[in-house]
Amino acid sequence: MELFKQKVILLTGAAGSVGQELIRQLIPLKPAEIRAVDNNETALFFLGEQYRHNSPLTIHLGDVRDARKLEDLCQGVDIVLHLAAFKHVGLSEQNPFEAVKTNVLGVRNVIQAAHRAGVERVLFTSSDKAVNPTNVMGITKLMGERLMTAANLEMGGQGPRFSSVRFGNVMGSRGSVLPLFVAQIRQGGPVTVTDANMTRFVMALPDAVHLVLKACTLSCGGEVFVTKMPVMRILDLARAMIELLGPCHGYDPEDIAIRITGIRPGEKLYEELLSEEEMGRALELQQMFVVLPSLPELAAKVRYRYADKLEFASCRRPYMSSREIPLTLEEIKQFLLTHRLLEPGLPEDSGRQWEVEVGTTPYYVLNEMATVLKA
């Protein structure tokens, strides 16, 4: 990751879950400066306190809706990582104008500021909900992708490289379903699932950040990078969490009910990361897919070359959660434990080890040390 060494990096949405993990992984890469931008005053303050000593991090209170502020912040910047967004489907449905201001006009502001400042690369974080969108959030994310791709045509292709990445559901982030399930299990249920057949692509926070860094390194301009990731049935996730956390709170897992509530407005039964339309212009790499631009003007100007392209590079089918083999119940438990996603759900008893089992393997979750160890 030599790309980031001694570079000035602007990070929007820095105080969010992914933003904080990105900062943690960027600092060892020795950038000259990380300009952390967020409109959450409290979270930004504590982020600054965390890295107050001997750190390349500088804190900036601001909003991507403020074009002039972004232009000031982009001066002297080499790389922009744009994470700031409205990401909640329900709230975006209820507040579509606000979602457009942040997720569409905010992207436009980032693009214009990057052009004027002579930035080298800009990476936009999108979502699986941008593929065949059925909700406001997905539509705005798709528009953000298209804006980023088209931005490569400005300045005769001599400006920054603009690209996007698509996330699945980032487990452990503030917008994931895990905190809801944890709270419901702590109360003894019921645990609410919208549909028994609902499936989702999932990724852990470190994997999401790795995708951002890798895509930024590979970017030629105009692509959308999609990492390969596991699929979970949400019903199975609920069952796994009940079995693992229920006993820690004194409940028999059999006594914690699961209630099916019905799909909410804008929600999809399954998610897509690669559509049928896109697969004809997508390449498969070892760990990800790359969706090339549909704009012929851009394809004619850019040579898309990637070192780890597979021998059979073209994609032969859409990448949908409904068509992938989901993780088993035991594999979901393994995923949760390996990525330390259960610790916020443990009782506040720092002197106790909580033993859980995955198959025949016992695990000890140490609340005081905040780690997960195999026995």
CATH topology of domain 2-175+202-228+269-320: Rossmann fold (3.40.50)
Q: Averaged over 13-25, what is the pLDDT? A: 95
pLDDT band at 12 (very low <50, low <70, confident <90, very high): very high
Q: Which residue in 129, 141, 268, 333 is the catalytic one?
A: 129
Q: pLDDT tens across 80-106, in order?
A: 999 999 999 989 999 999 999 999 999
pLDDT score recorded for residue 346 = 62
Would you say residue 146 has pLDDT above 70?
yes
- 129 catalytic residue (yes or no): yes
CA atoms within a 13 Å half-sphere pointing along the CA-CB vector of 225: 28
pLDDT score recorded for residue 317 = 76
pLDDT score recorded for residue 358 = 53
pLDDT band at 30 (very low <50, low <70, confident <90, very high): very high
Rounded Cα distance between 80 and 103, Å, is 16
pLDDT band at 155 (very low <50, low <70, confident <90, very high): low
Would you say residue 357 has pLDDT above 60?
no
Q: pLDDT tens across 311-344, in order?
A: 545 666 788 899 999 999 999 999 999 988 887 6
Would you say residue 349 has pLDDT above 60?
no
Would you say residue 164 has pLDDT above 90?
yes
pLDDT band at 352 (very low <50, low <70, confident <90, very high): very low
Rounded Cα distance between 21 and 38, Å, is 15
Instruction: Name the strand (E) or helix (H) holding 57.
Output: strand 57-61
Asked, as a colleague might, if the bond just before 179 is cis with ω within 30 of 0, I would say no
Are 229 and 210 in contact by the 8 Å Cβ rule? The answer is no
pLDDT score recorded for residue 204 = 92
pLDDT band at 130 (very low <50, low <70, confident <90, very high): very high
Rounded Cα distance between 298 and 303, Å, is 9
- What's the DSSP call for residue 315? -
Buried-state track 182-204, b at ≥16 Cβ within 10 A, e below 16:
bebbbeebebbbebeebbbbbbb
- What's the DSSP call for residue 153? T
pLDDT band at 351 (very low <50, low <70, confident <90, very high): very low
Binning the chain into helix, strand and coil, the percentages to the nearest 5 are 40, 25, 35
Q: Averaged over 198-227, what is the pLDDT? A: 93
Q: pLDDT tens across 227-256, in order?
A: 999 999 999 999 999 999 999 889 999 999
Rounded Cα distance between 179 and 323, Å, is 27
Would you say residue 345 has pLDDT above 50?
yes
Among residues 108, 107, 212, 222, the alpha carbon closest in space to that of 160 is found at 222
Would you say residue 139 has pLDDT above 60?
yes
- On average, the pLDDT of the chain sits at 88
Between residues 365 and 134, the one the model is more confident about: 134
pLDDT band at 350 (very low <50, low <70, confident <90, very high): very low
Domain ranges of the chain: 2-175+202-228+269-320
Between residues 73 and 345, the one the model is more confident about: 73
Would you say residue 167 has pLDDT above 70?
yes
pLDDT score recorded for residue 92 = 95
Q: pLDDT tens across 287-305, in order?
A: 889 999 988 888 778 888 8
- Strand 361-366, strand 371-374: pairing: antiparallel
pLDDT score recorded for residue 302 = 83
Among residues 272, 175, 166, 275, the alpha carbon closest in space to that of 227 is found at 166
Rounded Cα distance between 287 and 211, Å, is 9
CA 166 vs. chain centroid, Å, equals: 7
The CA angle 364-365-369, to the nearest 5 degrees, is 120
Can you tell me whether residue 172 is helix, strand or coil? coil
